[in-house]
Structure 1
Amino acid sequence: MGGHIDLYLDIGAVNAASGNKPPWTLPAKAVYGVHDSQRSLRAVGLSNVSAPGDLMQAGRTIVPLRALLYIKSQYPAATYLATWRALFHAFWTLHQPPITPEALEQTLASIPAGTNFASSSPPETLGKGREEEGRRLFSAEEVAAILRAEKSVEYKNTLRETTQRALDQGAFGAPWLWVTSAATGESEPFFGSDRWSHVYAFLGLPYQDVELLPPGAAKGSQAKL
Structure 2
Amino acid sequence: MSGKITAYIDCVSPYSYLALLHLSRNTRALQSHDVEVDVVPVFLGGINVGSGNKPPWTLPAKAVYSTYDSARAKSYFGVPNLRTPQFFPILSLLPQRALVYIKATFPDIFLQTFIDICSAMWENGVDVSKPELLAEVLGKKFEEEQVREILGKANSPQYKGLLNTNTKEALDCGAFGCPWFWVSNAKGEEEPFFGSDRFHFMWQYLGLPWKDIELLPAMEKAKI
TM over 0.5: yes
Partner of 1:167: 171
TM-score between the two structures when normalised by the length of structure 1: 0.78
Q: Which residue of 2 aligns with 1:85?
A: 115
Matches within 5 A, 1:41-120: 41-56=74-89, 58=90, 60-77=91-108, 79-109=109-139, 111=140
Q: In 2, distance between residues paired with 1:161 and 1:22?
A: 22
Indicate the residue corresponding to 1:31 in structure 2. Answer: 64
Q: Aligned-residue CA RMSD in angstroms?
A: 1.6
Q: Which has the higher contact order (CA 8 A, sep 6+)?
A: 2
CA distance in 1, matches of 2:56, 2:170: 20
Letter in 2 for 1:201: Q
Provide the C-alpha distance between the structure 2 equivalents of 1:97 and 1:204, rounded to a whole number of angstroms: 40
CA distance in 1, matches of 2:187, 2:103: 26
Contact 2:43/2:163 (<8 A) preserved: yes
| More strand per residue | 2
Q: Which runs of 5+ in 2 are unaligned?
A: 9-40
Return the match for 1:145 from 145, 149, 156.
Answer: 149
Q: Provide structure 1 residue ranges, at least 5 long, that are not aligned to the other structure.
A: 112-136, 218-225
Whole-angstrom CA distance in 2 between matches of 1:4 and 1:16: 24
Structure 1 distance, partners of 2:133, 2:174, is 32
Q: TM-score, length-normalised on structure 2?
A: 0.78
List per-residue Cα deviations over 1:38-59 (Å, max 9, x = no partner): 1111112221110012433x2x
Find the aligned partners of 2:184 and 2:122 in 1 and give their Cα distance. 30
